[in-house]
Amino acid sequence: MCQTQNEEPLYMVQDLTQFEMQQEQIALLCLLSLAEKNIKSGRVVSPDELRNSLRNLINND
């Protein structure tokens, strides 16, 4: 809901569920942007490299 004063937006009222969903959507967009930057700069690994790195992390604990 948007409250106005003199036909100008004054403030927004949002329920908690909507606010949390909006925050999650913003976080997802940030992650997608970061992933796109990593791909463009060549900071990528193959699936095999990722799998091996994860196995090494698990085995070292």
Q: Where are the domains of the chain?
A: 2-60
Stretches in the chain below the pLDDT threshold 50 = none
- Looking at residue 61, its pLDDT comes to 65
- Looking at residue 56, its pLDDT comes to 94
Rg over alpha carbons for the chain, rounded to the nearest Å, is: 21
pTM for the predicted model, two decimal places: 0.63
**Amino acid of residue 40:** K
Closest to 3 measured CA to CA, from 14, 17, 19, 15: 14
- Looking at residue 38, its pLDDT comes to 97
**Amino acid of residue 25:** Q
